[in-house]
Amino acid sequence: MKFSDQFYRDVISSETSSGKKTYYDAAFGKESQDHVLELLPTGI
């Protein structure tokens, strides 16, 4: 999801019974005016 403002932290991690979920700003450290929130699920 793309946003013009970053209203969230750079990385957000949470543990669940089905694995770990990490949300992060995919545009972090890049020359971009947009902030792209991505999800990286791991586990079962």
Other Cβ atoms less than 10 A from the Cβ of 25: the count is: 20
pTM: predicted TM-score of the whole model, two decimal places:
0.57
What does the pLDDT read at residue 44? 58
At position 22, the amino acid (one-letter code) is: T
| SS3 of the chain | CEECCCCCCCEEEEEECCEEEEEEECCCCCCCCCEEEEEEEECC
- Rounded to whole angstroms, the Cα distance separating 21 from 25 reads 14
pLDDT one-digit tens code per residue, 4-21: 888 887 788 888 787 888
